[in-house]
């Protein structure tokens, strides 16, 4: 798994009642004026981007939703529920170009924030089982019969690593969410719901590098899965 995934911070901070936000909203418009506070905003899909100053730590007048895209927590197309914490101002802020967003340099500023987590907007669809980034079909104990299908909800990437084997068809002990990112079905920053179908043994699994994720080759394995 590449550095875009590994650089993500660990777990999201669960906060009740996030405020609705547009893509220009910042700490000032959210009424956050001192360090040590936590908050969350709902960023609707589709942008448009607002101005951002800094990398990782952003000025208080930077767009919260746009900063979350810049640091890889959400995508502009998917949006998401973004949590943040306020931190003291800094003497300087370094801009950068990341994930389709270009932030700017700035000098001394009185208050900053950092993105601490993100989750998909809305409830998990009925019938979808919530899983983690290390969970496999075997580990979940699903798919006793060939042709069984399951809806699984992957959270935003949490910093863990797990292996996968194959391309398009994966071994049953491959991490489902990692395979979904490899297949291009979900984005690590926002997660998402996927559906897998259990297949029988395959004589060979061929690895590849796709969407920033590398899978490995493997010989015959007695169970496999595909995404539907």
Q: How far is CA 16 from the centre of its chain?
A: 20
Q: What pLDDT score does 7 carry?
A: 34
What pLDDT shows up at residue 4?
32
**pLDDT the model gives residue 122:** 59
Read off φ and ψ for residue 198, nearest 5 degrees.
Answer: -80, 130
| 47 compared with 172, residue with greater pLDDT | 172
By three-state DSSP, how is residue 185 classified? coil
Q: List pLDDT tens digits, range 101-129.
A: 999 999 999 999 998 777 666 555 556 88
Report whether pLDDT(76) > 70: yes
DSSP bridge partners of 102: 97
Pairing of strands 80-88, 38-43: antiparallel
**Residue 106 tokens, joined:** 């700035």
pLDDT at 18 over 70: no
* Angle at 38 (CA atoms; ends 45, 41), nearest 5 degrees: 15
Please give the model's pTM, rounded to 2 decimal places. 0.50
pLDDT of residue 113: 94
Buried b (16+ CB within 10 A) or exposed e, 100-128: ebebeebeebebbbebbbbbbbeebeeeb
Average model confidence (pLDDT) across the chain:
83
Domains parsed from the chain with CATH numbers: 3-119 (2.170.130.20), 129-227 (2.170.130.20)
At 145-170, the pLDDT tens digits run 888 888 999 988 888 889 999 998 89
Q: What is the pLDDT of residues 179-216, one digit of tens each?
A: 999 888 888 877 888 888 888 888 899 999 988 899 99
pLDDT recorded at residue 183: 86
């Amino acid at each position: 798994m590449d550095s875009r995934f590994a650089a993500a911070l660990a777990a999201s901070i669960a906060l009740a009642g996030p405020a609705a936000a547009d893509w220009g909203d910042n700490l000032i418009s959210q009424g956050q004026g001192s360090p040590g506070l936590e908050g969350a905003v709902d960023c609707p899909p589709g942008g448009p981007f607002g101005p951002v100053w800094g990398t990782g730590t952003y000025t208080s007048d930077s767009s919260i939703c746009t900063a979350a895209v810049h640091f890889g927590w959400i995508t502009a197309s998917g949006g998401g529920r973004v949590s943040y914490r306020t931190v003291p101002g800094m003497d300087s802020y370094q801009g950068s170009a990341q994930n389709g967003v270009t932030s700017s340099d700035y000098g001394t500023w009185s208050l900053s924030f950092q993105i601490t987590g993100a989750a998909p907007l809305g409830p998990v669809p009925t019938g979808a089982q919530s899983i983690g980034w290390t969970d496999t079909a075997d580990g979940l104990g699903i798919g006793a019969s060939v042709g069984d299908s399951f809806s699984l909800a992957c959270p935003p990437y949490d910093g863990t690593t797990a292996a996968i084997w194959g391309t398009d068809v994966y071994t049953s002990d491959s991490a489902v969410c990692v395979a979904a990112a490899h297949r291009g079905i979900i984005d690590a920053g926002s997660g998402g719901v996927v559906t897998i179908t259990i297949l029988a043994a395959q004589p060979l699994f061929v690895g590849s590098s796709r969407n920033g994720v590398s899978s490995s080759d493997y010989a015959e394995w007695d169970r496999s899965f595909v995404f539907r």
